[in-house]
Amino acid sequence: MTPARRVILDTDPGIDDALAILLAVASPEVELAAVTVTGGNCPLDQGVRNALGVLETVRSAVPVVPGVALPLIRPPFTAPETHGNSGLGNAQLPPPTTPPAQDHAVDLLVREIMTAREPVTLVAVGPLTNVALAIRRQPQIVERVHQVIVMGGAIDVPGNTTPLAEFNVYVDPHAAHIVLHSGLPLTLLPWDITSQVLLTQAHVDALLTIASPVTRLIADATSFYIDFHREYFGYAGCSINDPIALALVFQPELAHYAEVFVDVEIDSPKSIGKTIADAQGLWKRSPNVRLVTGFDAHAFLELFTARMAALAREHPARS
């Protein structure tokens, strides 16, 4: 078996961020170096507590590293209607007993990427504030990182936060601008794709046949998320965006890609955070992202639910 890929997961936990953390822990192809956190779905401190709580549920000692609380320029924007007041829907995790790392996400990103023997992969599933500041702090990370997989942007579909913008990019469009113009080896997984990948109540019910704090967490978190998606989008399930980005680390063949130039609007109040792909090359710019343009949702959902079931069996409910 090929050695596990060292991964840093940059998050704003968040229900689907929590699912991405669980998938990373459940996947032998991934060596999770750290979970870094930024403000986004919920304020930074709450996101840090959520990441710690999720990792404690699976008795993982992966460090949780707090990062930047606020977007670079814009005021903070959280998503309690999507993720609940706690950020984890209806899940009620005990207060974490592990403290967050005495470190800063930006320092960790720079240190890990610059000193790793094998190039590190960064999976960024929240607003891009930590990543943008890491680039500013040490521009050489752009050449040193193996790959950066970003969940964000709405290219050819309406946004999920404004009519034009997807949440992660909308919250910190200036950070997204720095990242898109940095030269990082980017794979961009947009809302166009993730909004079509629905975890349904039937998937959750099948997982619930395994009595485990893992399945309890998934069920309680996603019940809120499923209700939200039904009410706001009329979906029969919830789009679990963030674990898809994680899965692309070790199953890139789940997706089809196109090399294109993508930019983000940062000036206009109505369209701020809109991501634009120049599919026809009219701007005469070299491609800056490998854009996910197609995805095998069925294969991913099989993988995801199988990995969650295996993780749950490893952590049975205490009788």
Nearest distance from C-beta of residue 285 to ligand BDR, angstroms: 25
Please report, as residue ranges, which positions from 248 to 287 form the binding site for Ca ion (by CB under 5 A): none
Which one of ligand BDR, Ca ion, none interacts with residue 82, CB within 5 to 8 A by kind? ligand BDR
Q: How many CB atoms lie within 10 A of CB 71?
A: 22
What residues from 38 to 67 belong to the interface with ligand BDR (CB under 6 A)? 41
Q: Please report where in the chains the tokens 């130039």 appear, as a residue.
A: 261
Binding to Ca ion in span 86-125, by CB under 5 A: 125
Contacted entry of Ca ion, ligand BDR, none for residue 215, CB cut-off 5 to 8 Å set by kind: none
Rg of the chain, C-alpha, whole Å: 18
Considering only 145, 191, 295, 303, the residue that binds ligand BDR (CB under 6 A) is: 191
Q: Which residues, including other chains, have CB under 8 Å from residue 103's CB and lie 6 or more apart?
A: 63, 65
Separation CA 23–CA 25 (nearest Å):
5
**Position 275 contacts ligand BDR (CB under 6 A):** no
Map the footprint of Ca ion across residues 134-193, applying CB under 5 A.
none
C-alpha 190/C-alpha 194 separation (Å) is: 7
Check binding of 172 to ligand BDR (CB under 6 A).
Answer: no
Nearest to 123 by CA among 14, 250, 222, 28: 250
Cα distance between residue 232 and residue 248, in whole Å? 27
199-258 binders of ligand BDR (CB under 6 A)? 241-242
Task: Give the number of other Cβ atoms within 10 Å of residue 172's Cβ.
Answer: 31
The answer to whether residue 16 forms part of the interface with ligand BDR (CB under 6 A) is yes
Residue given tokens 């995801």 in the structure block: 304
| Count of residues near ligand BDR by CB under 6 A | 16
Binding site for Ca ion (CB under 5 A): 12, 14, 17, 125-126, 242
Interacting residues toward ligand BDR by CB under 6 A: 14, 16-17, 41, 79, 82, 125-126, 151, 160, 166-168, 191, 241-242
